[in-house]
Chain A
Amino acid sequence: MRTVSEQIITRSEVLPIRTQIDLVHVRQRVRTWLSEERFTLIDQTKIVTAASELARNALEHGGGGEMEMSLLAVGARKGIRLKFSDHGPGIADISKAMKDGYTTAGGMGLGLSGSRRLMSEFEIQSSPESGTVVTVTRWK
Chain B
Amino acid sequence: MERIPILRIGTLLLVTIQVDLYDDLALRLQDDLSNRIAELEATGVLIDISGLEIVDSFIGRTLANIAAIARVLDAETVVVGMQPAVAITLVELGMSLPGIRTALNVDLGMEYLRQAATGENGVGTDHYAE
Contacts and interface: CB of A to CB of B under 8 A. Distances in A.
- The CB with the most chain A CB atoms within 10 A, among B22, B60, B93, B95, is that of B93
Interface residues of B, number: 21
Interface string B85-121: 1101100111100000000000000000000000000
A106 to B, nearest CB: 10
A108 B22 contact: no
A45 B86 contact: yes
A46 B56 contact: no
Nearest to A23: B22
Query: What band does the interface of chain A fall in when counting residues whose beta carbon is under 8 Å from B?
Result: 20 to 34
A9 interface: no
- Interface SS, A side: helix
Contact of A53 (B20, B53, B57, B86): B57
Contacts of B36: none
A41 interface: yes
A20 B58 CA distance: 12
B61 interface: yes
Interface in B43-99: 53-58, 60-61, 83, 85-86, 88-89, 92-95
B22 A21 contact: yes
B39 interface: no
A68 interface: no
B106 to A, nearest CB: 22
Contacts of A27: 20, 53-54
B23 A110 contact: no
Contact of A46 (B92, B94, B95): B92
Interface in A30-77: 31, 41-42, 44-46, 48-49, 52-53, 56
Interface of B: 20, 22-24, 53-58, 60-61, 83, 85-86, 88-89, 92-95
